[in-house]
Structure 1
Amino acid sequence: MTIKQTKNVILIIVKTIFNNENNKMSETIVLGGGCFWCVESVYQNVGGVEAVESGYAGGNTDNPTYEQICTGRTGHAEVVKVTFDPAKVSLTEILEVFFIASHDPTTLNRQGNDVGTQYRSIILWNSEQQLETAKTVIDKLNTDNVFNGKIVTELKELTDYYKAEQYHQNYFKRNPMQPYCLFSIPPKLSKLKKYFPEKALA
């Protein structure tokens, strides 16, 4: 092997290690807690969260549209895909925000006036570690009687995920005067600030 070939091999190894380390820095989990505009807004204000994307998951319809989701017959829930840096915010903290600040996990197939399976509380895990962490957080919240009722959040392995239409992305940021959002989102952000002051960005 020539010196040039050796250098190229070393460069490839270094790049591989660097890319692997970068990949380890971020983790993704898919969460559903009612209208995705609301849940998206909460996580966009959590320190350590790198990206939030609204989508559909948990059902059996390929490439669903928002109109199909609204019928409640696709099996899918409105969800957000949360990408975060575990060095800055742990999965446990992400899930605590999910349960305490983003929605009511004790109501089955509804959030407020939004009724239907598309609004169900659901965690779509992509690793056994995520599943076990979710179970641990749920058990603790139930044991501590944090809510008036028991948590009914569905735990399901993530199989298919579909990004929602572009007009749903960053919805509250682009539509700050939308009446539904003005009614629903500020109380959730207030909970975020109250219960997670060290993580709330605004």
Structure 2
Amino acid sequence: MRRSAFIFAATLALGAAACQQPALAAESVVTAPQAKRIAKEGEGLKTAIFAGGCFWGVEGVFSHVKGVTSAVSGYHGGTERSARYDIVSSGITDHAEAVKVTYDPSVIRYDQLLRIFFSVVTDPTQLNRQGPDTGPQYRNALIPTSAEQLAVAKAYLAQLTAAKLWDRPIVTKIERAQAFYPAEGYHQDFMLNNPRHGYIVRWDAPKVAALKQLYPGVYTASFQRN
């Protein structure tokens, strides 16, 4: 079932019942290795874009990472005219649901964000889908915004491929940074504002729990508001 249908059905069908059940495991949780190539990005806040399926969970995880000052859900690529949820969710545009992450590299580096991304956010072996969501708009991709991020992303994907942590091949792509269009207001801070939503309970809350368990040193309970 696509998340677009889940929005309307989950709260009614799962709703309160779902939030009373123990959190189920996220679709892919691994302990990704530390990056061999350390990001050297200098001083000042940096931004990076991550596409990893439903942007609710991507935003939710990064919002709990120390050093992240903002995590904005939106649509990467495509055109401004069609950057609307009702259109993007149909899968007919070139957009990817994505999250623009602003962070302080003196606290959390880009290579560390990559490690978190592949450990608890996305399953890099799923092509044009994540969990219950299918379609190219749910593809997983890295969208570097600088030459340094690009070099680090390439090196880390090569490192993960050699490590063979997954039984299937990694299909995550590196995409050229294009326009990023913030999603509608109700999508922002969705996990924070809707913790009992059936989709959040089933698919996204376990990712935050995994972040806390695997990387307690970077986890923060203070949700970064957009």
Percent sequence identity is 38
In 1: Cα distance, 2:45 partner to 2:166 partner? 31
* AA aligned opposite 1:201: T
Q: Is the 8 A contact 1:63 1:162 kept in 2?
A: no
1:167 aligned onto 2:186: yes
- Report 1:1-202 matches (<5 A): 24-60=43-79, 62-202=81-221
Q: Is the 8 A contact 2:66 2:108 kept in 1?
A: yes
Give the deviation of 1:200 after TM superposition: 1.3
In 1: Cα distance, 2:48 partner to 2:184 partner? 19
Q: Is the 8 A contact 1:29 1:125 kept in 2?
A: yes
User: How large is the RMSD of aligned CA atoms in angstroms?
Assistant: 1.5
In 1: Cα distance, 2:68 partner to 2:220 partner? 10
In 1: Cα distance, 2:182 partner to 2:95 partner? 12
TM-score normalized by the length of structure 2 = 0.76
TM-score normalized by the length of structure 1 = 0.85
List alignment gaps of at least 5 residues for structure 2: 1-41, 222-226
Q: Secondary structure in 2 aligned to 1:105? A: coil
Give the deviation of 1:24 after TM superposition: 3.8
Give the deviation of 1:80 after TM superposition: 0.3
Give the deviation of 1:35 after TM superposition: 0.3
Q: Higher relative contact order at CA 8 Å, sep ≥6: structure 1 or structure 2?
A: 2
Q: How many residues align?
A: 180
List alignment gaps of at least 5 residues for structure 1: 1-22
Give the deviation of 1:25 after TM superposition: 1.3
